[in-house]
Amino acid sequence: MKTLAFGLLTGVFFGFLLQRARVLRYEKQLGMLRLEDMTVIKFMVSAVLTGMAGTHVLYDLGLAQPSIKPTILGANAIGGLIFGAGWALLGYCPGTAVGAVGEGRLDALWGVLGMLAGAALFAEVYPALAQTVMVWGNLGGVTLPGILGASHWVVVGCMAGGGVALCLWFERKGL
């Protein structure tokens, strides 16, 4: 029960931030995919870098455990590309579609219904996929520090440098 209440509360804050940053909008999502408006990327980079620093402090202090999804080259790449195609057509990703419904976007509601249908379809074909695409190139739960044999703080530092440079470039280009 406590877990459910915490989920709802966390979601409310997240939805609030997404709406205030205006990243729930079709124009912002397609603006990013058309490489014209990088607001969503700026939000993402800032969230990832902040969360990255925070969670690794928690790991170092032993206050949290990682939950790493396996790297499956075939599934990640093929699924990722298919997702991208649907994303461009809908103009919202799963989390932002639900958020967009909250600010009155009726097309996002059709997107949510489509996602329910897509999830049902996936559940039907899962047994076949689980033995093919979803095992192609399974590397397990690997991380960048693990592969590089480097301290996670070195990798976090490089990511921070890269992220800041990318955003500075966006600002200079007026994106």
Partner 1 sequence: MQPPDVRSCAMMGAERRGMENGAAIGGGMHEHGGDRGWNPYAAGAGAGVLSTISVWIAGKYFGASTTFVTSAGMIEKALDAERVARMPYFLKEIPRVDWQWMFVAGILLGSLISALGSGSFRWQAVPPMWEGRFGPGTARRAVAAFLGGLVAIFGARLAGGCPSGHGLSGSIQLAVSGFLSLACFLAGGILAARFLYERRDGK
Of 58-97, binders to partner 1 (CB under 8 A) are: 58, 63-73, 75-91, 93-95, 97
Asked if residue 43 binds partner 1 (CB under 8 A), the reply is yes
User: CA neighbours within 13 Å on the CB side: how many for 102?
Assistant: 18
Question: Is the CB of 36 or the CB of 161 nearer to partner 1?
Answer: 36
What radius of gyration, in Å, describes the C-alpha atoms of the chain?
Answer: 18
Distance CA 84, CA 91 (A): 10
Question: What part of residues 122-161 is at the interface with partner 1 (CB under 8 A)?
Answer: 122-124, 126-127, 129-130, 133-134, 139, 141-145, 147, 152, 155-156, 159
**Closest distance to partner 1 from the beta carbon of 142 (Å):** 5
Question: Could you say which DSSP state residue 22 is in?
Answer: T
Calpha distance 40→161 (Å, rounded): 19
- Tell the smallest beta-carbon distance from residue 110 to partner 1 (Å): 4
